[in-house]
Amino acid sequence: MAQLVATLASTHHPFYLKATTMPPEQQMPQAPKWKRKIEAYRETLARTKPDILVMIGSDHFHQIFLDNCPQFLIGKAPRYDATFYNEEREFGIPKYVLEGDEEMSRFMHQHLMDQNFDFAFSNELKIDHSIICPIITVRPQNDLPVVPIYTNIFAPPLHSPKRFYELGRAIRKAIDDFPSDKRVAAIGTGHLSLELGGPRQFMETGPDPDFDRQAIEWLRAGDIDSILANVNHETMAKSGNATHGFLNFILMLGVAGPEGADYVDNLDLFHTMEAYFTWYPKEQAA
């Protein structure tokens, strides 16, 4: 059976590449520190020597729109183009092509259906920055096949935090049962408190620093009970209109299981708290 070797959950900041590669005299003061933190985080993946990446993100109205909007979707394609024109324009993210793993996509799709998750699928999925940002940060050589999974954190009604956690557990089961000797890493991105297109956007901190600190502690401890007792759609909206990206962190805790994280780091940037978590399955902990 396949072996899950690491679960990574992080924020995705589309300006990371631009912020850390522009001429040094134009960079923001935190850029060198940001880069060091990202490179340290990258190492938490590299040391596990993965063969395949299961990547969880959320399309930001790039391929998916309100005429046809799945809650959960899995890509099943031999490869995936990435980065849309408006992402190049706004964030300066280049185009990529990611290799797929159709066999694992097909297996996971069926397995997740068998576990009562009615996944939509796509045989021609163009990937956006929710999955390219972590390629840039934790696997910039882009040398591994991926199984992309999209969740709807954007177009209400959204599934509950509990459903996201359960989906994470189901994804873990599907990885564990994949008949292969491959080493699999699961990588998902989302947000802590975040405001976009509203009165609290682009402040000196994220819109709700208290939530950010609390969320980091919950994830550090793997405390799913506290998350489910305290986080719902209303509380997330109060913390910032795009805070629902936190649902992907809850999903990733489901993949890892309710355990303390092995690596935790964060960085307070203008307008958002960045956070980086890695869990290693206990049986493989060095």
Residue 85 makes contact with another protein by CB under 8 A: yes
Distance of alpha carbon 39 from alpha carbon 31, whole angstroms: 12
- With CB under 8 A as the contact rule, the residue among 120, 155, 221, 264 that binds another protein is 155
Residues within window 161-220 making contact with another protein, judged by CB under 8 A = 196-203
Residue 285 makes contact with another protein by CB under 8 A: no
Shortest Cβ 206–another protein spacing (Å): 13
Identify which of residues 67 and 181 has a Cβ nearer to another protein in the complex: 67
Residue 268 makes contact with another protein by CB under 8 A: no
Identify which of residues 113 and 237 has a Cβ nearer to another protein in the complex: 237
The footprint of another protein on this chain (CB under 8 A) covers a number of residues equal to 27
Distance of alpha carbon 231 from alpha carbon 226, whole angstroms: 8
Cα dist. 31→11, 144, 211, 269 in Å?
16, 27, 24, 10
Identify which of residues 45 and 153 has a Cβ nearer to another protein in the complex: 153
Residue 95 makes contact with another protein by CB under 8 A: no
Both tokens of residue 216?
A: 């980091």
Q: Which candidate, 96, 101, 10, 122, places its Cα nearest to that of 52?
A: 101
Residue 86 makes contact with another protein by CB under 8 A: yes
Asked whether the beta carbons of 109 and 76 are under 8 A apart, the reply is yes
Residue 96 makes contact with another protein by CB under 8 A: no
Distance of alpha carbon 135 from alpha carbon 53, whole angstroms: 10
- With CB under 8 A as the contact rule, the residue among 25, 89, 143, 286 that binds another protein is 89
Asked whether the beta carbons of 109 and 123 are under 8 A apart, the reply is no
Residues within window 41-70 making contact with another protein, judged by CB under 8 A = 60-62, 65-67
Distance of alpha carbon 279 from alpha carbon 149, whole angstroms: 19
